[in-house]
Amino acid sequence: MSESPAATKDRSAVRSLLRLWPYVRPVRTRLFSAACVAIVASCLGLVIPLVLKWIVDGPVAERDPGGVWLGALVLLLLGFAEALLFGLRRWLVARPLAGVEASMRADLYRHLQRLPVAFHDRWASGQLLSRGTTDLMLLRMFLAFPLTFLLVNATTILVGFVILLGQEWTLGLVLMAPIVPLVILCWVFEARYAVVARQAQDQVGDLTTVVEESVLGIRIIKGFGRHRSQALAFRGLSERLRGTELGKARLLAGIWALITTIPELAIGAALVLGTIQVADGGLSAGTLVAFLSTALALRWPVDSIGFLLAMSQEAATATDRFFEVMDAAEEPEAPAGVSGGVRGSG
């Protein structure tokens, strides 16, 4: 019951994830509040370089120790507030999203009880079990982390580049140069990763089927001496899943290496040009420190794009797998008169 690679490649991840909205709607207030809190916390981190600029161009340049201590206190308060806000974000989403996962699992179980026997004849039990456990866990993780931080990191990058261009627009343009190649790389990666992610999740279901059926029928397997054939089947499926997971790891490692390296080259070029401008007197040392500190603060939002997209693709395939079962037609209920007549004739 696996989706073809072509169908997986053509499907829209956003359209798939939007099907989760009926389950997310009851907790939307806390989810949106957590996103807003995370955005404020992330933007507070961008204020720290501006404080460093004031310290370098002010108290340090004027040899004022009192001003340095004041700046350090402001940095400490900003860091404490940022950590507190991120902790609040986690508290806001932890319990509600666990409830979303439980609600989806209950609906899946209730729906499976109402499906005809012919459906269960077609579907392997491990495929159904993996949809109710691993896939729903992936969806909870997506709602708790990638969904929020795709918005938070995008906002942080936008605000950060506005600050960079405001400090020194020429160096800001140098850092903006990698945007186009990064967008192209992410688009290619998303298309390829979607296919591999679906294959891996389907193979987990096949492996789960072998384990579950072997445990349930252990007496029959031992009685007919089929333990070796079952072990070979399990090993074959495990090796196939291992190969698929290694393929996923190679894709993720490749995109992460490129996303990390390309911005680092841009930061290095900006550092060289900024140092030359400071030496020529066209730029203050504090401005260069603030510029580079802001650029470094944007490293995590940029570096995280790779694995956030990977987790989003896995969540999209998990959503497709969940609704493959939920979209199956339930068995119509027999009329009360028909059931009563059957019992009476007996």
End-to-end CA distance of the chain: 40
- The pLDDT, as a whole number, for residue 221 is 72
pTM across the whole model: 0.74
Which pairs from 44-47 meet CB under 8 Å and 24+ separation?
44/78, 44/81, 44/82, 44/85, 45/78, 45/82, 45/156, 45/297, 46/156, 46/159, 46/160, 46/163, 46/294, 46/297, 47/78
The answer to the question of residue 298 being in a domain is yes
Per-residue pLDDT in tens (0 to 9) along the chain, 346 residues: 444 444 455 567 888 899 999 999 999 999 999 999 999 998 888 888 888 888 888 888 778 888 888 888 998 999 899 899 989 998 998 889 989 999 999 999 999 889 888 888 888 888 888 888 888 998 999 998 888 888 888 888 889 888 888 888 888 888 888 888 888 888 888 778 888 888 888 888 888 888 877 777 777 777 767 777 878 888 888 899 899 889 888 888 888 888 888 888 888 888 888 888 888 888 888 888 888 888 888 888 887 877 788 888 889 989 999 999 999 887 676 555 554 444 444 3
d(CA 183, CA 255): 11
Residue 282, token pair as written in the block: 């066209």
Identify the pLDDT of residue 344.
42
Only one residue has tokens 């961008």, namely 46
Whether residue 12 lies inside any domain: the answer is no
Per-residue pLDDT at 11: 62
Q: State the residue range of the domain holding 171.
A: 23-329
Residue 229 domain-assigned (yes or no): yes
Q: Is residue 137 part of a domain?
A: yes
Q: In this structure, is residue 226 part of a structural domain?
A: yes
The reply to whether 277 falls in a domain is yes
Report CA torsion sign: 226, 227, 232, 237.
positive
Of 228, 330, 339, 317, nearest in space to 15 by CA: 317
Q: At what angle do helices 305-326 and 179-216 cross, to 10 degrees?
A: 40
Residues 6+ away with beta carbon under 8 Å from 192: 251
**According to the model, what pLDDT value does residue 345 have?**
41
Q: Tell me the one-letter amino acid at 200.
A: A
State residue 61 phi and psi, 5-degree precision: -65, -35
Q: Which two tokens stand for residue 134?
A: 């691993």
What's 248's domain CATH number? 1.20.1560.10
What's the number of domains the chain is made of? 1
